[in-house]
Amino acid sequence: MKIVIYSSYLFLILSMAGATILEKFRGSQYAASAVYGSWWFILLWALLVVASIAFIWHTHRPRRSLSFYLLHASMVMILCGALLTHFTAQRGMVHLRIHEETTQFLTPHGAHGPEVHALPFSLRLDTFRVTYHAGTSSPADYESVLTLTDPSGSLQASVSMNHILSHRSVRFYQSSYDDDALGSTLSVSTDPYGIPLTYLGYGVLFFSLLFLLVDPRGSYRRLLRHPQLRKGMLIVVFLMAAGSSMATPPTLPKEQARRFCQLDVLYGGRICPLQTFALDFTKKLTGHRTYKGLTAEQVLCGWMLWGEEWSNEPVIRIKSGTIRHRLGWPAQVTLNSLFRGQPSGYMESYALRPFVEAYYQGETDKLHREVLKIDERVMLLLELRHGRSLKIFPQTLEGSTTWYAPTDRLANDLPETDRLYMRNVFSLLLQEAQQQNWAQFDSIVTKMQHYQQLHAGQSLPSPLRQRAERMYNSFPFATVLFMFNLTLGLLLLGFTIYRLSQSSPTRSEKTARQVHRAALLMLTASFLGLTLALALRWTASGNVPLSNGYETMLSMAWFIMLFAFVAQRRFPIMLTFGLLLSGFFLLVSHISQMDPQISHLMPVLNSPLLSLHVSVIMMAYALLSFTFVCAIVALAVRGMGMVRRKKGSNPQGPEATLAETSLQLLSQLFLYPALSLLGIGIFVGAIWANVSWGTYWSWDPKETWALISFMVYAIAAHPTVVRFLRRPMAYHLFMLAAFLTLLMTYFGVNYFLGGMHSYA
C-alpha cells in the first residue's frame, strides 16, 4: 500500500511540475487537455485517495487524533468537489450591448467551435459604467446593470469586479467591456454541486489546520512536549548563538529642485508628488538614486530645463555585458550618442532601431530583450524632452478632472488664459533659472501649486498622503536595511556555527549573552525602520503593501523579523535567522527587476480576500524560510565537526549530533504552523478566485506550484510514514530540497514561467 501512495504522490507532483513547463512552450489549452483534464491525471488523484484511506484504516485507526482525521477528510471532500465541478460545471461567456437581450451563453468546449447553452431566464444590459480613480484614467471598477426576466417576474441587479450576481444557480462575473463602453462581456458559471461540496471541504480544512496546532493528541502538541524542550536543552544549545571630482551638468540648486518636485503629477495612473517621478526616472536611467552628487529632483529638473546639455551626459545605463561587447559601448552612454550625433527623436539615425524592429518581428532572445530595456530608457527621456511626461496641469470641467502636460492637445473649452499659462510657464521658469533669480523662481512654483489646488477638484491626494509619500521617498529604506541586516546576520551566523562546533559550547556564556542583547537591539531598530517604511507606503498608496512583488518582499522581511522578535526569548538563535533572512528578502527587493513604483490596484485585485490570501501566504513562506536556515546551519555544523575530527581536536563530536537534533526540532516547530498557514492561504486564494472570476482552481503556474510546495512540505510532517526523515541530517537535506519548490513558486513562476497568476 505504501508503494502505491509513494508512487502516485510522486507522479502527481512531477506531472504538475512538468505541466507548468509544458504550458510555457505549448500553451494553456494544451496543458489543460494533456495533463490537468486527462483521464490518467484524474485517476492518479483517485488512486492516491483510495490508497491513503485504506492505509489509514489498516494502520492508524486506533491511534490517530481528531485533527488528523478532519484534515485528511477535508482533502477528500475538496477533491470530490473538484471532480463534480469537472464533470458537471459549465463555464462560458455572454456579450451584450446596451439594451440588448439574450437567453443564451457560449462555452468554448465544443469540437466544432463554441457551444450554445440556454439560460433559465432572459438577460438584458441596461447600462454599463466605468469608474476611475479621481483625476486619472486608471479604472477603479467596472459595473454592468442588468435586468433578469423569468416566468416569476423581472429583477434588476448589477455585477462588478469582485461583486458577483447569482440567480437560479447561475453566476455572472464582470469580465471585460467594449472599447466604446457601450457593451459588456460577462463570465457565466453554473456549478450547483461542486462548489457547495468544495466550500464545505475548505471549511473543514481551515478548522482542522488550526485545530492541528492545539489538538492535545496531535503531532504538534507532542512535539511541544519533546524532552529537549521540557528540559531546556534547546535553550542551552542555542544560547551562544546570540551572541571623485567630475563636472556636473546645469541644473537647479537642491532647494529649488526640491520645492519644484513638491508639485503633483499624473504618473503611473495616479496623482503623486513629482518627487516620486523624479526618483523612478533617475533610478531607471542610472540605476541609482543620485547622479554625480545631484539628487533625483535635480536630475529631473536638469533634463526638463537644460535638455540639450543633458543629452551629452552619460546617464543611460547599459547593464548588459553582451550589448556592450557587441556594440562597443561603455557602461553608460549619452542620449546623443544613440542618435549618431543627430537631434534626438530622428528615428532614422537611432542606433537601436534595427534591434527594436527585430524584437517586434519575433526575435525575442536575451540580446533583443536587453536592447528593449535600453529603448525604454531612451523613450523615457524623449517623452520628458517633448514635455509629454509632465502632466502637472489639472482642469476640472463638469465634475471631471483631466491632467495635462504642457505639450498636450488641450480641450477646446479651456479658458484662453489657462492655455497660455500651460504653454508659457516653463519658459518663465527657465528664464528665472538662467538669471539665477531664485526668489522669483520660487514665486512661480508657489503659483503653480496654487493653480493645482484651484483646478484639481477632488483628484489631489490628502496632505497626509502627500507628506507620507515624500517622507517615504526621502530615505532608501530597503537599501540601507538590507545592508544592515545581511551584514549583521552573516556575522552572527559565523559566530553561531563556530560556537556550535566547539567541544565545550557552554563556555563564554557571558560573551554570548552580550552578543544576544546587542543583536536584539539591532533587530528592534531594523524592525521599527521597516515598519515605518511599510506604514508610509500604505498611507501613500491607500492599499495594503502587498500588491506587487516589491511590496511582498518588504512585507516578507517584516514578517520574518516579527517572528524572530517573538521567538528569540525562547530560541536566541532566531535573532541570527531573522536578520539573515530579512536581509536576503530586502536584498532581493533592491536588486531584482521588481517595479518599486506605487500605483493603483487593478479592479480585480481590490479585494480584502486578496490581502488576506497574500498576507497568510507570506507568513507561511517566512516560517518555511526558517526551516531552510536551520538546515543550512546543521550542514555547516556537520562540516566543521568533520574538519575538527580530521584534525583530532574533537574525535567523537557528540555536540554536532546534539546540534543537528536540536535544529531538527526547531525546524519542525516552524514547519507545522507554516503548513497550516500555507494551506489556509492557498484555499483563501481559491475562494477569492471563485468570487472574482468564477473558478476556484485554474491550474495556472502560480497556484499549481503553491500546491506542489504544500505537498512537498507535507511529506516532512509524516515521519511515521516516511521513516528516513526521522534521521536529523536526512531531514535537513530534505528541507533544503523542499525550499527549491518555494523558490520556484515565488521566483521561477514570476520570471521563468511568466507571471504572478494567469490574470497578470
| pLDDT tens profile 253-294 | 999 999 999 999 998 888 999 999 999 899 888 888 899 889
For residue 172, the cross-strand partners are 165, 188
- In degrees to the nearest 10, what's the CA dihedral of 185, 191, 692, 120? 40
| pLDDT the model gives residue 740 | 93
What is the distance between the alpha carbons of residues 632 and 223, in angstroms, rounded to a whole number?
A: 22
Residue with grid cell 488550526, as numbered in its chain: 210
Q: In the predicted model, what is the mean pLDDT of the chain? A: 82
| pLDDT the model gives residue 226 | 67
- In degrees to the nearest 10, what's the CA dihedral of 316, 317, 322, 328? 50
What is the distance between the alpha carbons of residues 46 and 753, in angstroms, rounded to a whole number?
A: 28
Taking 50 as the pLDDT cut, the residues of the chain under it are 230-245, 593-595, 598, 651-653, 758-760
What is the distance between the alpha carbons of residues 568 and 41, in angstroms, rounded to a whole number?
A: 45
Reference 582, options 635, 634, 519, 640; nearest CA is 519
Handedness of CA 113, 114, 117, 123 (dihedral sign): negative
What is the distance between the alpha carbons of residues 37 and 33, in angstroms, rounded to a whole number?
A: 5
Q: Where are the alpha helices (DSSP H) in 172-245?
A: 194-211, 219-224, 227-230, 233-238
Answer left, alpha or beta for residue 331, where phi above 0 means left and psi between -120 and 50 means alpha: alpha
Angle between helices 39-59 and 66-88 (to 10 degrees): 160
Rg over CA atoms, the chain:
30
Reported residue count of the chain is 760
For residue 403, the cross-strand partners are 394
The pTM is what?
0.64
For residue 158, the cross-strand partners are 145
Handedness of CA 606, 610, 611, 614 (dihedral sign): negative
What is the distance between the alpha carbons of residues 447 and 441, in angstroms, rounded to a whole number?
A: 10
Kindly provide the residue ranges of all beta strands, DSSP E only, lying in 431-470, ordered along the sequence: none
For residue 656, the cross-strand partners are none
What is the distance between the alpha carbons of residues 381 and 314, in angstroms, rounded to a whole number?
A: 13
Kindly provide the residue ranges of all beta strands, DSSP E only, lying in 295-391, ordered along the sequence: 316-317, 332-333
| pLDDT the model gives residue 302 | 93
What is the distance between the alpha carbons of residues 543 and 599, in angstroms, rounded to a whole number?
A: 9
Cβ burial 375-384 (10 Å sphere, 16+ → b, else e): bebbebbbeb
What is the distance between the alpha carbons of residues 418 and 394, in angstroms, rounded to a whole number?
A: 10
Q: Under a CB-based contact definition with an 8 Å cutoff, are residues 141 and 160 in contact? A: yes
Cell output for 417: 488664459
For residue 160, the cross-strand partners are 143, 163
DSSP character at residue 363: -
Reference 546, options 493, 621, 446; nearest CA is 621
CB atoms within 10 A of CB 498: 14
Burial label, 408 (beta-carbon count in 10 A; 0-12, 13-18, 19+): middle
Cell output for 375: 529603448
The SS3 call for residue 415 is coil
